[in-house]
Amino acid sequence: MDSQSDAYISFIGRTRGAHPDFGPPPYGIPYVGVSATQVRVPVTFVDYGDESDIGFRGENGYPLPDSARSQPNFIEGGVPGGGTSGDRHLLIVDRDRWVLFELFGARWDASRNRWEAGSGAVFDLSSNTRRPEGWTSADAAGLAILPGLVRYEEAMRGTVRHAFRMTVRSTNGYVWPASHRAGNSAGALPLGARLRLKASKDFSRYPAYIQNIFRAMQTYGLIVADNGSDMYVTGSMDARWNNAELNPAFAALTAGDFEVVRLGWR
């Protein structure tokens, strides 16, 4: 546990309840799998072009399906083509080559006949290499988003073997595994910090899939990945989620039920 754990938790607010930032459309972040034959199309980066990847290993373009231009639920927020508001994350996995493509602020600009995004990052899923020091990704912390999502299939299947992505209202610098900062609020957690649900927390009354989620929080924890609402845990957009069960269960977890793992722990 980090020596400043109590202070960090108090900064959030010890009675602040957690919240599942996911559910049926339009809630949560969608993702799509494609094959290696999916055509790569160029993306124009309008905010963080100098910290964005234009493609994978020298290629120019992201494997964006044409249907993402006109069909809902390819992009976070559910709006066909992305619209103009919100974070508008767009996540695509090349299943054949084990490559993850992620965009922030994605939108199809029909007037210019091009895809635009605030930033973009490409991750080789056979490697755990970080982003270059100081670089963002499609997430403020410079982390990959998809590996940190609460995903329906995993929760229903049984043991979940990874940490989850979370947000807090403000941050102060960054620590490993993050590579990018998005604030300098004194007393706040840095991006990349990991919160772990205390082993003493009893959640045996909940459905098995919620127990699986909470058990992962005890084992792998929550990683601060962006500024947003305090204790919001990010998951996938999936019509099968039941928010009538998830919302009260998450709300019963307060910040005081967590401790901060030693900052920068590898």
Name 93's Cβ contacts closer than 8 Å, sequence gap at least 6. 31, 32, 33, 34, 99, 100, 101, 125, 146
**pLDDT (tens digit, 0 to 9) for every residue of the chain, 266 residues total?**
999 999 999 999 999 999 999 999 999 999 999 999 999 999 999 999 999 999 999 899 999 999 999 999 999 999 999 999 999 999 999 999 999 999 999 999 999 999 999 999 999 999 999 999 999 999 999 999 999 999 999 999 999 999 999 999 999 999 999 999 999 999 999 999 999 999 999 999 999 999 999 999 999 999 999 999 999 999 999 999 999 999 999 999 999 999 999 999 76
Q: Can you give the pLDDT at residue 94?
A: 98
Task: Return the axis-axis angle of helices 243-251 and 208-219, rounded to nearest 10°.
Answer: 40
Q: Can you give the pLDDT at residue 18?
A: 98
Q: Can you give the pLDDT at residue 49?
A: 97
